[in-house]
């Protein structure tokens, strides 16, 4: 029965790749085993069994977003996360006229929504023809039911991420950051800035995402000291 179910899921996955009308190069990098390895960079899935990740991939949805098409919209309730397989996406203003951050292949976004229904903090659109894998909240929760030992572990990680995410949103309010500037403090924007620091430039997206969630927000007035000589670092 289990073998039949996996065969059926694999067939559905293959069909979704065919419907997406992928070119040869992209078709190869959306192979189940290849995508499974990519998911290992997502902190939520770190050190999880290969069989679990295999099921996650088989139950995911592959689709192609045309250039300038909106993938998620600021303010809407999020119920899934996305992994960029090929192409690139951009975090843009609500009218899509300003580009804040670009995320290339192997980037991911929206992972908090796998376990918590939160409002999207940014609008993301495809900057070119882009192939993505979508993992829905329902899919992950359903598969986790067959891994009771793993469920608690992943839920704990998700809870930690959610706590950091909400603390960040609270800090934006406490510092009275205007809505027009909040995009500068999005996790994606922070990851982009961290990548420019030489010691972080070769780090994977998952590590930088976790690091970004752990950063704090400070506002300083003109003349305020950021650091001073002799102060413990």
Determine the structural domain holding residue 57 and report its residue range: 2-214
**Residue 16: CATH number of its domain:** 2.60.120.10
Alpha-carbon torsion, ordered 218, 193, 66, 12, to 10 deg: -90
> CB 169: neighbour CB atoms within 10 A?
15
Confidence of residue 170 (pLDDT cuts 50, 70, 90): confident
Evaluate if residue 61 carries a pLDDT over 70: yes
Predicted local distance difference test score (pLDDT) of residue 180: 67
Domain assignment present for 20: yes
Evaluate if residue 29 carries a pLDDT over 80: no
Predicted local distance difference test score (pLDDT) of residue 208: 82
Confidence of residue 73 (pLDDT cuts 50, 70, 90): very high
Predicted local distance difference test score (pLDDT) of residue 3: 61
Q: What does the mean pLDDT of the chain come to?
A: 83
Mean pLDDT confidence for 157-183: 79
Number of domains in the chain: 1
Domain assignment present for 87: yes
Domain assignment present for 233: no
Evaluate if residue 233 carries a pLDDT over 80: no
Domain assignment present for 230: no
Evaluate if residue 115 carries a pLDDT over 90: no
Mean pLDDT confidence for 101-116: 86
Domain assignment present for 136: yes
Predicted local distance difference test score (pLDDT) of residue 161: 82
Domain assignment present for 55: yes
Predicted local distance difference test score (pLDDT) of residue 98: 81
Evaluate if residue 2 carries a pLDDT over 70: no
Q: Under a CB-based contact definition with an 8 Å cutoff, are residues 185 and 75 in contact?
A: no
Domain assignment present for 231: no
Residues 6+ apart with CB under 8 A from 218: 175
Give CA–CA dist 19/227, Å, rounded.
Answer: 55
What confidence tens digit (pLDDT) does each residue in 209-230 have? 878 877 877 777 888 888 888 7
Evaluate if residue 151 carries a pLDDT over 90: no
Domain assignment present for 219: no
């Amino acid at each position: 029965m289990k073998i039949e179910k996996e065969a059926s899921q694999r067939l559905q996955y293959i069909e979704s790749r065919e419907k997406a009308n992928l070119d040869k190069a992209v078709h190869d990098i959306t192979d189940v085993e290849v995508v499974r390895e990519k998911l290992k960079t997502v902190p939520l899935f770190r050190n999880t069994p290969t069989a679990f990740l295999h099921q996650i991939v088989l139950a995911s949805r592959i689709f192609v977003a045309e250039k300038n098409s909106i993938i998620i919209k600021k303010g809407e309730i999020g119920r899934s996360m996305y992994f960029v397989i090929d192409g690139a996406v951009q975090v843009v203003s609500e009218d899509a006229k300003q580009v804040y951050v670009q995320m290339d292949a192997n980037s991911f976004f929206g992972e908090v929504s796998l376990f918590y229904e939160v409002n999207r903090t940014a609008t993301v659109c495809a900057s070119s023809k882009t192939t993505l894998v979508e993992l829905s909240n329902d899919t992950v929760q359903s598969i986790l039911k067959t891994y009771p030992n793993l469920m608690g572990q992943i839920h704990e990680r998700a809870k930690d991420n959610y706590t950091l995410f909400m603390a960040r949103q609270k800090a934006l309010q406490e510092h009275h950051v205007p809505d027009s500037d909040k995009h500068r403090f999005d996790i994606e924007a922070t990851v982009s800035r961290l990548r420019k620091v030489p010691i972080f430039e070769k780090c994977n997206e998952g590590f930088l995402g976790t690091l970004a969630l752990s950063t704090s927000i400070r506002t300083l007035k003109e003349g305020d000291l950021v650091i001073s000589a002799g102060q413990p670092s």
